[in-house]
């Protein structure tokens, strides 16, 4: 009987993404797939509507699905209030489409234009008793109480699961006949109230506001979720955790994971503190053979993982900024991924080391009082390679990988795709939530954003969004450029902007909330992931290797400008003090015992400069000949061939200090993308110039008390 019009996303829109078994139980949100797009609103559709309007996304959804249209003069009039007649017509359209009912719009003698819709809603008990009788309903404005009553009855309860535990602050004032309707729409995230989270039932509704209600009804990903048990600290950089999280921010201070050379052969990971200006401090240094990763925040403290190379031994550590101490939260297995939810700490542990990855084993469980309690064990590496736990509404969500067979020109091949799963904390059960073929994703509140594979194993260009509690309905946010249809994609969000890092073609693309995309950054190297803090974006190569010629780079998150090298930014010196590089053929093409610095009192000699692959590497020795200390601020390295500039590199540095007479060694790597043009190096034809900037540190004079 129900939903006989389901054409639907499972058959048409989602056929390339989602495979559902024939006997599978209905998925929450699945019934909403009847609402297909029948129009395509653009920024030019309405003369009085800007894409910057707060309700633009809701108006777009409502218009595209044919539920809420504009006026004949080409306006939308978002601030006009909604009448009883308009609300009843909209509700009838939604209800009829959702339940697959015929909607007779025949106007009889004596009817108003909205009368057929009124009859439809009245026959299904959708009209509240407060509806004016015997008046022209298109001339009477409807309040929020009655709007909630009508719209709470437009779709089935199974497609309005609770995604918000937000309290209604004026609930005691809501009349009993409306209470159930208001609670339903609040819990489902369809109504969110005012700034104080009151319902304000006597208030009137504008066309912009009802457009948002419609969009949330039809697309669960648009709904406003709230879970008071979720870890709010991690929300802003959840997308970073899905990939490589190397830095977090508290106020104006950054806590950074990094590895550098203590000596030529001594490589150490550490936790560092910086403000990106003058403050630089080592907070923790790992032992030889240990590595650090997965940095996050919880309750104002910094958490990170420590692992031992060549074994399954590891720990989860915590740095408390208030005490300045590092403590051990858990020691035993390597913690590969973790999350905090409702005061609990859930983790994926690496439980068995083997010489080959096929022998690796993992367990998912909870860390309690320093011990690990496994819920599910014996996961393989192939299953959990993109596992990142995330807590929401009583469940821990994560992805488990499966193998999908696809067709190609040579027959068939196999690709690994991720499927959304969840662990129900109360029931202690693991379940598959949705069968989308996920390529890369991250969680944001109750929404999972993802890129996908189609049924043939191709990289889908669309950015999709689903509510994890109503995953049967999918929203297409927009489409990334065709150049992202390649391997090694990762997905991020910072503020209201989405980013796709396409490692294979070395570009970062952005997408705004309306689905418009652009090339945001040419990376200048092969970067596999990125990390966002509040105001910084960090590009991360395939490892944190200090000798990687691409290096970690830091940008302003908003403008993606002002590039600095991550090491400089932390205060560890550019390309690592003491880092060692060897020419491919063991031959240097430039050596200078004379200073190549543009500053006479800051001598810079070049013991060695050479090419390696696509990169040009300059080893430099700085000597501070000033009578006082200085802080290095930036550098420019210029490489000339036959006196013609052929390579150029500029980076900013945190305020690294050099005392008078100090000597520091730096290794500058000019990545291939930074070279101005291709050139062949030869003895006697290369010259180097380095332009440093610095600040003089005033001498401290002894003060005499008077």
Q: Which residues contact 335 (CB under 8 A, 6 or more apart)?
A: 294, 305, 307, 314, 315, 316, 347, 348, 349, 350, 367
Once rounded to an integer, what is the mean pLDDT over residues 149-163?
96
Residue percentage of the chain with pLDDT more than 90: 63
Per-residue pLDDT, 9:
30
DSSP 9: T
Instruction: Examine the pLDDT at 301 and tell me if it is beyond 90.
Output: yes
pLDDT confidence of residue 268: 84
Per-residue pLDDT, 414:
80
- As a whole number of angstroms, the longest Cα–Cα distance in the chain is 102
- Amino acid 193: pLDDT: 83
What does the pLDDT read at residue 705? 40
Asked if 316 contacts 329 with a C-beta cutoff of 8 angstroms, the reply is: yes
Please report the pLDDT score of residue 99 as a whole number. Answer: 96
Q: What confidence score (pLDDT) does residue 691 get? A: 94
| Phi, psi dihedral angles at 694 (to 5 degrees) | -160, 170
Res 262: pLDDT:
62
Distance CA 287, CA 441 (A): 33
**CA 600 from chain center: how many Å?**
47
* Confidence band for 704, pLDDT divided at 50, 70 and 90: very low
| Mean pLDDT score, 332-344 | 96
Q: What is the pLDDT of residue 550?
A: 57
pLDDT for the residue 8 = 27
Which residues have a Cβ under 8 Å from the Cβ of 245 and sit 6 or more positions away? 237, 293, 294, 295, 296, 531
| Residue 559 pLDDT > 70 | yes
Question: What are the pLDDT digits (tens) for 610-648?
Answer: 877 677 888 888 899 999 999 888 889 998 888 888 888
Q: How far apart are CA 190 and CA 196, in angstroms?
A: 16
Tens of pLDDT, residue by residue over 437-463, are: 999 999 999 999 999 988 777 889 999
- Check residue 390 and give its pLDDT: 95
Which residues on neighbouring strands pair with residue 498, listed in sequence order? 493, 511
The per-residue pLDDT for range 45-62, each reduced to its tens digit, is: 999 999 889 999 999 999
Q: What is the pLDDT of residue 234?
A: 75
Structure tokens belonging to residue 691? 């332009």
Q: What is the mean pLDDT of the segment spanning 149-173?
A: 95
What's the average model confidence in pLDDT over 393-422?
85
Residue 675 DSSP class: B
pLDDT of residue 659: 87
Mean pLDDT estimate for the chain = 87
Residue 18 confidence (pLDDT) above 80: no
Q: Which of 165-174, 539-548, 648-657 has the lowest mean pLDDT?
A: 539-548
Q: What is the mean pLDDT of residues 532-536?
A: 94
Average pLDDT (267-277) is: 91
* Residue-wise DSSP of 449-470: EEEEB-TTS-B--EEEEEETTE
Residue 379 burial by CB count (10 A; 0-12/13-18/19+): exposed, middle or buried? buried
Q: Which two tokens stand for residue 342?
A: 């409702």
pLDDT of 590: 79
Q: Mean of the pLDDT values across residues 342-363?
A: 95
Q: Is 654 exposed, middle or buried (0-12, 13-18, 19+ CB in 10 A)?
A: buried
The listed range with the strongest mean pLDDT (11-25, 78-92, 486-500) is: 78-92
pLDDT recorded at residue 313? 97
- String of DSSP letters for 143-171: BHHHHHHHHTTSS-GGGS---B----TTG
Would the pLDDT of 6 be above 50? no
**Token digits of residue 704:** 């005499």
Rounded CA gap, 230 and 208, in Å? Answer: 30
Residue 152 confidence class, pLDDT cut points 50, 70, 90: very high
Answer whether residue 231 shows pLDDT above 60. yes
Residue 3 scores a pLDDT above 70: no
Q: For residue 348, what pLDDT is reported?
A: 98
pLDDT at position 5: 25
pLDDT at 675: 65
Q: Report d(CA 103, CA 82) in Å as an integer.
A: 22
Q: Would the pTM of this model clear 0.75, i.e. be above it? A: yes
State pLDDT tens for residues 76-127: 999 999 999 999 999 999 999 999 999 999 999 989 999 999 999 999 999 9
Confidence check: pLDDT of 396 > 60: yes
Residues in the chain: 706
Answer whether residue 13 shows pLDDT above 50. no
Supply the pLDDT for residue 221: 96
Complete DSSP assignment for 104-138? --PPPTT--TTHHHHHHHHHTT-S-TTS-SSS-GG
Of 424, 432, 398, 404, give the one whose Cα is nearest residue 416: 404
Predicted local distance difference test score (pLDDT) of residue 24: 54
For the segment 352-368, the average pLDDT, to the nearest whole number, is: 95
Pairwise CA distance, residues 334 & 361, whole Å: 11
Q: What's the whole-number mean pLDDT along residues 68-74? A: 92
Q: How confident is the model at residue 263 (pLDDT cuts 50, 70, 90)?
A: low
pLDDT band at 573 (very low <50, low <70, confident <90, very high): low
Q: What is the pLDDT of residue 456?
A: 77
Which range is least confidently modeled, 17-21, 302-306, 620-624?
A: 17-21
Average pLDDT over residues 350-365: 95
Query: pLDDT band at residue 574, thresholds of 50, 70 and 90?
Result: very low
Which has the higher per-residue pLDDT, 67 or 542?
A: 67
Name which of 20-24, 29-33, 526-530 the model is least confident about. Answer: 20-24
| DSSP summary character for residue 520 | E
**Mean pLDDT throughout 491-508?**
90
Instruction: Please give the pLDDT value at position 620.
Output: 87
Average pLDDT over residues 16-28: 53
More confident residue, 514 or 120: 120
Residue ranges and CATH numbers for the domains of the chain are 35-222 (no CATH), 590-696 (2.60.40.10)
Query: Which of 572 and 478 is assigned the larger pLDDT?
Result: 478
Residues 6+ apart with CB under 8 A from 345: 316, 329, 330, 338, 339, 366, 367, 368
| Residue, of 14 and 162, whose pLDDT is higher | 162
Question: Could you tell me the pLDDT band of residue 680, with boundaries at 50, 70 and 90?
Answer: low
Lowest-confidence pick of 208-212, 381-385, 600-604, 649-653 = 649-653
């Amino acid at each position: 009987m129900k939903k006989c019009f389901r054409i639907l996303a499972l058959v048409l829109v989602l056929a390339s993404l989602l495979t559902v078994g024939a006997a599978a139980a209905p998925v929450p949100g699945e019934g909403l797939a009847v609402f297909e797009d029948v129009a395509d609103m653009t920024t030019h559709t309405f003369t009085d509507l800007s894409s910057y309007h707060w309700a633009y996304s809701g108006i777009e959804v409502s218009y595209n699905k044919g539920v809420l249209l504009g006026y004949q003069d080409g306006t939308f009039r978002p601030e006009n209030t909604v009448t009883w007649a308009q609300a009843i017509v909209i509700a009838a359209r939604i209800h009829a489409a959702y339940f697959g009912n015929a909607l007779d719009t025949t106007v009889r003698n004596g009817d108003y234009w909205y009368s057929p819709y009124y009859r439809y809603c009245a026959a299904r008990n959708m009209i509240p008793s407060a509806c004016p009788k015997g008046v022209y309903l298109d001339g009477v404005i409807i309040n929020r109480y009655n709007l909630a009553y009508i719209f709470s009855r437009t779709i089935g309860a199974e497609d309005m699961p609770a995604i918000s535990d937000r309290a209604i602050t004026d609930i005691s004032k809501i009349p009993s006949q409306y209470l159930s309707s208001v609670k339903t729409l609040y819990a489902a995230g369809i109504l969110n109230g005012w700034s104080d989270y009151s319902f304000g039932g006597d208030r009137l509704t504008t066309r912009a506001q009802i457009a948002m209600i419609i969009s949330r009804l039809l697309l669960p990903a648009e709904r406003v979720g709230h879970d008071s048990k979720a870890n709010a600290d991690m929300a802003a950089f959840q997308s970073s955790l899905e990939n490589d999280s190397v830095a977090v921010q508290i106020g104006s201070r950054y806590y950074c994971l990094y590895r550098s050379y203590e000596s030529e052969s001594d490589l150490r990971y550490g936790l560092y503190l910086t403000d990106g200006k003058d403050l630089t401090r080592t907070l923790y240094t790992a032992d030889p053979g240990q590595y650090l990763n997965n940095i996050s925040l919880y309750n104002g403290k910094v958490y990170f993982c420590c692992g031992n190379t060549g074994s399954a031994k590891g720990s989860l550590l915590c740095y408390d900024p208030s005490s300045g101490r590092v403590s051990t939260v858990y020691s035993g297995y390597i913690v590969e991924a973790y999350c905090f939810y409702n005061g609990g700490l859930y983790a994926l542990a690496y439980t068995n080391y083997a010489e080959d990855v096929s022998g690796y084993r993992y367990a998912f469980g909870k860390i309690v009082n320093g011990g690990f309690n496994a819920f599910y064990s014996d996961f393989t590496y192939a299953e959990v390679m993109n596992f990142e736990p995330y807590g929401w509404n009583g469940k821990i969500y994560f992805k488990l990988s499966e193998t999908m067979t696809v067709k190609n020109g040579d027959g068939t091949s196999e690709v690994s795709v991720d499927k959304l799963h969840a662990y129900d904390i109360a029931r202690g059960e693991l379940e598959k939530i949705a069968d989308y073929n996920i390529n890369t994703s991250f969680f944001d509140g109750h929404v999972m954003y993802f890129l996908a594979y189609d049924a043939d194993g191709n990289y889908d260009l669309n950015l999709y969004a689903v509510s994890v509690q109503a995953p049967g309905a999918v929203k297409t946010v927009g489409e990334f450029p065709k150049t992202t249809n390649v391997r090694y994609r990762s997905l991020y969000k910072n503020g209201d902007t989405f980013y796709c890092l396409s490692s294979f073609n070395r570009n970062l693309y952005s997408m705004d909330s309306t689905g418009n995309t652009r090339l945001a950054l040419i990376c200048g190297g092969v970067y596999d992931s990125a990390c966002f803090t509040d105001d910084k974006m960090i590009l991360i190569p395939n490892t944190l290797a200090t000798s990687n010629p691409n290096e970690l780079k830091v940008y302003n998150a908003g403008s993606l400008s002002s590039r600095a090298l991550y090491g400089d930014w932390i205060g560890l010196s550019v390309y690592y003090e003491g880092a060692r590089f060897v020419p491919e053929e063991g031959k240097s093409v430039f050596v200078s015992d004379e200073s190549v610095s543009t500053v006479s009192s800051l001598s810079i000699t070049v013991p060695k400069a050479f090419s390696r692959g696509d990169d040009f590497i300059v080893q430099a020795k700085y000597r501070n000949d000033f009578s006082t200390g200085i802080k290095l601020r930036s550098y420019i390295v210029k490489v000339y061939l036959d006196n013609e500039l052929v390579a150029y590199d500029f980076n900013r540095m945190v305020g690294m200090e050099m005392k008078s007479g100090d000597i520091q060694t730096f290794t500058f790597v000019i990545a291939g993308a930074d070279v101005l043009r291709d050139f062949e190096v030869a003895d006697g034809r290369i010259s180097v110039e380095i332009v440093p900037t610095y600040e003089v540190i005033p001498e401290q004079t002894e003060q005499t008390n008077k």
